[in-house]
Structure 1
Amino acid sequence: MDLKASVEGQTHDIKSIRLVSGKSADWKELACTCVCFANSRGGQILLGIEDGESSPPEGQRISDALLERISKRVGELTIHVNAFPEKVCCENGAEYVRLNISRSQNVASTTDGRFFIRVSDQCMPITGDNVLRLAEERPGWAWELVDSQLGKKHIDPLVLKRLVTSFRHSERVRPSVKEKSDAELLEHYSLVIGRNLTNLGALLVGSTNTRRSLGVAPIVQALKFDDAGNKVNKWAWDDHTQSPIELVEAIWGAIPDFKESYEVSEGLYRKSVPAYDEKVVRELLINALVHRPYTQKGDIYINLRPGSLEIVNPGTLPLGVTTRNILNASRRRNEELARVFHDLELMEREGSGYDLVYDLLLSRGRPIPELKVGQDRVSVTIRRLVPNPGVMRLMQDADARHQLTQRERITLGVLAQSDGLIAGELVERLETDQGSLSSWLGRLLELELVETRGRTKGTRYLVSPELLRDSGMTGATSLKHIEPHRLAALVREDVGRYPDSRIGEIHERIGSEIPRSQLRKCLKNLVDAGDLVMIGERAGSRYRAGDT
């Protein structure tokens, strides 16, 4: 294995050798990590590489006794986990342990009754009712690969011909796979098992009656509403004549609202911008078709309202994925179906679908999608708004000049649609954590596209004023980003004129757009410095100049 490519992620983790040796050995942590891989797709843990390093330290040696101890302790501390340690020699002559964990056919746990699952590069604990969901949803039991008990005579030859032709023309399919016969391609993509079709095969290449017999083939309904909430039009794909692959094209082509556009001012010219971006709509439709639980019945709804498009999918988000981590979490519910869509160039690589949606929407001056999770459904809403020409110009100019990464574009787009965000607010908008914020900011600070004000947790990030001015987004002058020393001078002058004022009265006079938390901190600093005197406590506090 190439250690440089072995970054921590869905199927790989890197740990120090101290985890399994010496007095600081933490066998329980290793057991938890093994359980989370076993409950997901399996994976590998590289033991013997320190944080920030790409190879083990020179001179490091791994004894056979350590390999035996790792195998023994993992077996003692886990249930339904198969872990196989092996010694690997690196290019620098040093050795490390590669611990291979197989995907378990049963729900794995630690011996003290704890359950975990791997989501992106983290091990997520599973508790309560989610343990039952783990048993139902985990990749060890794949609905796609179950024998449908339907023979190959149920294959629709025209559908099969279109599918294999698409595989052979796709740039994502390896040449060695393209050379396979039609029958071999069916086996390669898990569409057949022996003489029968798998459930996935019945769904993708079966006849209309074959799909109907599954009982869970997707049904899609598109409903259009007027301003009063009355239904004015309806489209339905409920006859099972099309596979999920064909449904995407059929839906996009049938709904006229998807072809509408706006004209926005672009200097002396006017530019036509689609009401709904085709890539965004297709990505959301594919997410609904690929990531829905096919063990659960329920229609997919496309609700078209005057100001928005909502896609409602039956089922909940995959276990471990939430509305707070959807940009960073990565977990497929239907792995083989996702592989087919990916190889046909219909969807992005794993974990980047929502990244693409955020990127496209923010780059066009639109708000990010609104994701809601109910007990038995997930809905995604995108707004049909006239794009902000200034944000569009800003994003296009910045990207053309600096070839921004996707994360940099998303971060810049979030900041461009705000008056600046403090670190905690930006972390929340990006659905990440404080430690990962630098990877989202990327080169934005270095390229002077984004500026900072303040320090530590109070650091505020905002788009460079020059960039805003060049994009025609100057707007009205605001005190929201007033510097601390200027705010202090303003407060001292106000309290000098109006002694015994409450914080609300001061706030209203000097500028209500100033964050109240910032004003409260300023007042405290002035009281501590003796410039102001506080009379009373809490809500009844009043302020006067310190020399009176």
Structure 2
Amino acid sequence: MEEGKLMDKKSLRFLKGKNTDWDELAKDCISFANAHGGNILIGIEDRDDLPPENQKIEDKNIIEIIHKNIAQRTINVAVIVTLEAAINRAEYIRINIIRNVQTIASTTDGRLYVRVADECKPVMPDEIVRLAAEKNAFIWEELTTKYVDKSNADEKKKMDFLYDIRNSSRVSAFVKEKSDEEILEYYEFQKDNYLTNLGILWIGQRRDRSSLLFAPIIQLIRYNDKEEKVWKFLLDDFYLNPKEMLESILRDIPDWQESMEIPDWAYRKNVPFYPIEVIRELCANALVHRTYTTRGDIFINIFHDRLEIHSPGLLPYGVTPKNILSKSVRRNENLSKVFLI
């Protein structure tokens, strides 16, 4: 149980009676509520998986006290506080913070926070609109607002997806042993007999995929040395799901086959202008991390001296140009899992 965007751990020493930092706990709960929800485990050290042997929670009123103090310091935060026993029979406290789907959580004096990776980040006034947009992105995948019955899925795309799951080395045996219906629900493709937005995007019929508010469109444009458009490749008919779009880009663009020959001691070798592994990673990121709640096409622009890929929307919340190489934040959590198969 590592700390991350869905979990935080605190030593039992955090609870100091009247000296407990309730404001800090409230801030952590708000940050989880404004992101994906999560759990705070009080009584387990940061680097441990279990509470210390023989640990007991002596004050049985602490559950009510925690709940009361969080409620007094927060707005739009729902928590479930329980006393639990680990497999070593030691006790700890679990605070389950419910993801706040529609509204923004804050302190009673108006301060906002959001969980980014394993950190609690303050939300500045000029970032509130961005946070609201990100919250819509969090839930977009799981919505069933199109009311497309699961029986209307594209049968070939569905079977291809299930085949990929059961033949992937990255998928656990636990998942592979599930039934077809259970796998589709596990990956959030369907819910309550309807395809979710993610399900429509990946295994839906063309007509349903085209009805999504902002289904992905890719434009690849080649420019000459004067930066004038000379060739265009377009994926805009909604027949393909994201995986098929990526495969088409890698297969159908002749530029990826271009290379130059360079001397290599007594031999000569071809060095590609565009390493296909790099192109795959960049295009996959453009599809996985784009915002599906705002308008905009993905542009792949090939110039004589560079390649540019533009994906609609800002960087995910918490990612900046300065930390983009070290900070990992998934905007579309379930779509990311599917691409990792």
Settle same-fold status: TM greater than 0.5: yes
**CA–CA separation in structure 1 for the residues paired with 2:39 and 2:213:** 38
For the pair 1:32 / 2:30, whether they are aligned, the reply is no
1:128 equivalent among 121, 125, 130: 125
Aligned to 1:65: 61
Q: Is the 8 A contact 1:39 1:140 kept in 2?
A: no
For the pair 1:98 / 2:103, whether they are aligned, the reply is no
Q: How much is the aligned-residue C-alpha RMSD, in angstroms? A: 2.6
Q: What letter is aligned with 1:314?
A: P
Shift of 1:232: 1.7
Q: Is the 8 A contact 1:177 1:185 kept in 2?
A: yes
Which structure has the bigger radius of gyration? Answer: 1
Q: Secondary structure at the match of 1:164?
A: helix
In structure 2, relative to structure 1, the CA distance for the partners of 1:288 and 1:85 (3 Å cut) is: same
Within 5 A, what are the aligned runs for 1:226-305?
226-305=224-303
- The alignment of Structure 1 onto Structure 2 pairs a total of residues equal to 338
Shift of 1:79: 1.8
Question: What is the CA deviation profile of residues 249-275 of structure 1, one whole-angstrom value per residue up to 9, with x for unaligned ones?
Answer: 000111111122234444444443322
Name the stretch that deviates more: 236-245 or 155-164: 155-164
Q: What letter is aligned with 2:37?
A: G
1:12 equivalent among 7, 10, 25: 7
In structure 2, relative to structure 1, the CA distance for the partners of 1:8 and 1:191 (3 Å cut) is: closer
In structure 2, relative to structure 1, the CA distance for the partners of 1:330 and 1:83 (3 Å cut) is: farther
Within 5 A, what are the aligned runs for 1:406-417?
none
Aligned to 1:119: 116
Q: What letter is aligned with 1:71?
A: H
Q: Is the 8 A contact 1:19 1:27 kept in 2?
A: no
Q: Is the 8 A contact 1:154 1:210 kept in 2?
A: no
Q: Is the 8 A contact 2:51 2:92 kept in 1?
A: yes
**CA–CA separation in structure 2 for the residues paired with 1:308 and 1:8:** 39
Q: Is the 8 A contact 1:10 1:330 kept in 2?
A: no
For the pair 1:85 / 2:85, whether they are aligned, the reply is no
In structure 2, relative to structure 1, the CA distance for the partners of 1:80 and 1:301 (3 Å cut) is: same
**CA–CA separation in structure 2 for the residues paired with 1:139 and 1:75:** 25
Aligned to 2:156: 158
Q: What letter is aligned with 2:283?
A: L
In structure 2, relative to structure 1, the CA distance for the partners of 1:49 and 1:176 (3 Å cut) is: closer
Question: What is the CA deviation profile of residues 66-101 of structure 1, one whole-angstrom value per residue up to 9, with x for unaligned ones?
Answer: 332222111211122223333445677764433322
**CA–CA separation in structure 2 for the residues paired with 1:274 and 1:204:** 31
Q: Which has the higher contact order (CA 8 A, sep 6+)?
A: 2
Shift of 1:54: 6.8
In structure 2, relative to structure 1, the CA distance for the partners of 1:75 and 1:276 (3 Å cut) is: same
Q: What letter is aligned with 1:104?
A: N
Q: Secondary structure at the match of 2:141?
A: helix
Shift of 1:176: 4.2
Within 5 A, what are the aligned runs for 1:356-505?
none
Shift of 1:248: 0.3
Shift of 1:39: 1.4
Question: What is the CA deviation profile of residues 394-417 of structure 1, one whole-angstrom value per residue up to 9, with x for unaligned ones?
Answer: xxxxxxxxxxxxxxxxxxxxxxxx
2:316 equivalent among 315, 318, 342: 318
Shift of 1:117: 0.9
In structure 2, relative to structure 1, the CA distance for the partners of 1:96 and 1:213 (3 Å cut) is: closer
Within 5 A, what are the aligned runs for 1:130-149?
130-138=127-135, 142-147=139-144, 148-149=146-147
Q: What letter is aligned with 1:112?
A: D
Q: Is the 8 A contact 1:39 1:139 kept in 2?
A: no
**CA–CA separation in structure 1 for the residues paired with 2:137 and 2:303:** 40
Q: Is the 8 A contact 2:136 2:293 kept in 1?
A: no
1:336 equivalent among 305, 317, 334: 334
Aligned to 2:223: 225
In structure 2, relative to structure 1, the CA distance for the partners of 1:90 and 1:203 (3 Å cut) is: closer
Question: What is the CA deviation profile of residues 309-332 of structure 1, one whole-angstrom value per residue up to 9, with x for unaligned ones?
Answer: 110011111222211222333332
Q: What letter is aligned with 1:37?
A: F
Shift of 1:197: 2.2
Shift of 1:58: 6.4
Identity of aligned residues (%): 45
Question: What is the CA deviation profile of residues 15-49 of structure 1, one whole-angstrom value per residue up to 9, with x for unaligned ones?
Answer: 23343314542111111011111111222223245
Name the stretch that deviates more: 55-64 or 99-108: 55-64
Question: What is the CA deviation profile of residues 404-446 of structure 1, one whole-angstrom value per residue up to 9, with x for unaligned ones?
Answer: xxxxxxxxxxxxxxxxxxxxxxxxxxxxxxxxxxxxxxxxxxx
**CA–CA separation in structure 2 for the residues paired with 1:211 and 1:42:** 29
**CA–CA separation in structure 2 for the residues paired with 1:90 and 1:155:** 42
Larger helix share, 1 or 2 = 1
Q: Secondary structure at the match of 1:64?
A: coil
In structure 2, relative to structure 1, the CA distance for the partners of 1:202 and 1:52 (3 Å cut) is: closer
In structure 2, relative to structure 1, the CA distance for the partners of 1:179 and 1:65 (3 Å cut) is: closer
In structure 2, relative to structure 1, the CA distance for the partners of 1:59 and 1:336 (3 Å cut) is: closer
In structure 2, relative to structure 1, the CA distance for the partners of 1:140 and 1:65 (3 Å cut) is: farther
Q: Is the 8 A contact 2:78 2:98 kept in 1?
A: yes
**CA–CA separation in structure 1 for the residues paired with 2:190 and 2:26:** 36
Within 5 A, what are the aligned runs for 1:163-178?
163-178=161-176
Q: Is the 8 A contact 1:302 1:312 kept in 2?
A: yes
